[in-house]
Amino acid sequence: MYKTLSSYEFANEFKESQSRKEQFSYDALDAIYEYLECMYDDSDSNGYEFDMIEICCSFTEYESFEDFQKCNNSDMETIEDLQDETTVLFLCNDDTGESGFVLENY
C-alpha cells in the first residue's frame, strides 16, 4: 500500500520527528522532494518508498562550498569538481537571499 506525499507532507514528516526535525532546512527538504519525485517519475518503478533514515543518510545540507570543504577536509577546489562526483541540489532562500546546497552523499 502506498500513500502519495505532497511536498508539504514530506517536509512535515521531518519537522514532526523528534530526532530528525533539525536535519534539513525547509528549502533543502523541498529540493530533496523535487529530486526524488523527478527520479521516480522518470523511472518504471511505482514510486519512492519513504524512508526518513535512508534520506538522512543519502543527503547532506551545506551552507556553502567552504562549509563542505571544512566539514569533509576536502581537497576539491570548486563546486563544479563536486558536481562531477555526485548530485548537487542548489538552494536559495528567497527570504534571506542566502544560498547553499544539498549533496547526494557518495
Segment 75-88, tens digit of pLDDT:
889 999 999 999 99
For residue 19, pLDDT beyond 90? yes
CB count within 10 Å of CB 29 equals 23
Taking residues 46-50, what's their average pLDDT? 75
Gap between the Cα atoms of 7 and 80, Å rounded = 28
Determine, yes or no, domain membership for 2. Answer: no
For residue 92, pLDDT beyond 80? no
The string over 31-57, giving b where at least 16 C-beta atoms fall within 10 Å of a residue's C-beta and e elsewhere, is bbbeebbeeeeeeeeeebeeeeeebbe
Taking residues 44-72, what's their average pLDDT? 88
Determine, yes or no, domain membership for 98. Answer: yes
* Structural domain for 62, as ranges: 7-104
Mean pLDDT of the chain: 88
Number of domains in the chain: 1
Q: How confident is the model at residue 99 (pLDDT cuts 50, 70, 90)?
A: confident
Determine, yes or no, domain membership for 1. Answer: no
